[in-house]
Amino acid sequence: MKRVVCFAIVFLSLSVQSCTAQQGEVPKASENVVSRLTLTDFTDVAAATIDGVVHIKTEMTQLTPLYQSFFGFIIQQGVQRQVYNAYGSGVIITSDGYILTNNHVVQDAERIYVTFNDRRELPAHLVGNDPATDLAVIKVEAEDLTYIPFGNSDKVRVGEPVLAIGNPFNLTSTVTSGIISAKARNMHIIDNPRTNETPLESFLQTDAAVNSGNSGGALVNSRAELIGIVTAIASGNTGNYIGYSFAIPSNIAVKVASDLTRYGYVQRGYLGVQVTEVDANVARQTGARDTKGLYVASVVRDCAAERAGIRQGDVILRVAGKEVNTFAEMMEELGIFSPGDEVEVDYVRNGNTKTVRLQLLNSNGNTDIIRK
């Protein structure tokens, strides 16, 4: 599947060595590995982080026309004003009241209220939102709040134990545990018609149970660090959790939160390439020697990649030193950079590996700050 990564100018496994055991013998697992496979006690982690997650209630008004039949004619007699409430979760990220949540929790809200773990309730205002990542920042007027520090989501490993903290079904301060099941999942679930930006999806997948109301809550590691913002669940047709949930990686979230706080708008750096993931079929069609990397289907004119000499037919292997084998992996890596940042890109052309250092550009093809 092809994905555009820039606007045109006018977006784990235990390593087992193969060996033959003698008949009657049972192969033994590595003692080092077995010693690490201990049950994680999350009581201290929960105690350290639960006050850093809040319950969010929003109010929205919908105006509904009122009609009446008059001698066979339907006549509008006025408008009925109805107030609707929506609920979600949020994560305190600074001691002075900045809270990170999902965009879909607060979008279109006329009023936002935040309830803390000690049952205090405060009004909040929207600082900024980013539909492309489904993240938003809100602010309450408070000081000395317990907040959860960001962890490095790049260092998260498949199989690593995690906690999800949120408010499912308005059951406040709920903690569930699980493991990281996968990384860099692109679920094609972010779809907001109000933005023309390519959705940035590279979710952490976990089997920690979450449900409606967990959106915007915290996914934390065994060091009580925020490694993800809980966003979605696999629910089938039930609308409830059936085995997996998904979180936005913290490295994306911290960049978005910083930009929204400073500029009100996320400053994204783009390569300017349209890419296809290299699988067996693509490798056969293009002559690629391996099923790794991202095949460059086209290059946007006068964007960062073209200026650096990347051409159609090249296969991108790494961005900023990180292997990129899926579109989601590349978008996640690019998502932490801003226009004007320089990154190294490793790619293959005609069997030869090349490295180029290029400057990322914004959606307008320059490095200026973009504001709403």
Catalytic residue status for 215: yes
Q: Which two tokens stand for residue 162?
A: 């995690």
Which residue in the list 153, 181, 202, 215 is annotated as catalytic?
A: 215
Q: What 3-state class would DSSP assign to 223?
A: coil
CB atoms within 10 A of CB 73: 7
Tell me how far apart the alpha carbons of residues 76 and 67 are, in angstroms, rounded to a whole number: 4
For residues 327 and 275, the answer to whether their CB atoms sit within 8 Å is yes
Which residue in the list 55, 89, 104, 202 is annotated as catalytic?
A: 104
E strand map for 193-250: 203-206, 218-220, 226-233, 245-249
Which residue in the list 130, 134, 259, 346 is annotated as catalytic?
A: 134
Tell me how far apart the alpha carbons of residues 216 and 165 are, in angstroms, rounded to a whole number: 10
Rg of the chain (C-alpha set): 24
Q: Give the pairing of strands 352-359 and 111-115.
A: unpaired
3-state helix/strand/coil string of 97-130: CEEEEEHHHHCCCCEEEEECCCCCEEEEEEEEEE
Give residues with Cβ within 8 angstroms of 152, minimum separation 6: 225, 227, 250, 251
Catalytic residue status for 104: yes
Tell me how far apart the alpha carbons of residues 226 and 115 are, in angstroms, rounded to a whole number: 20
Active-site residue set: 104, 134, 215
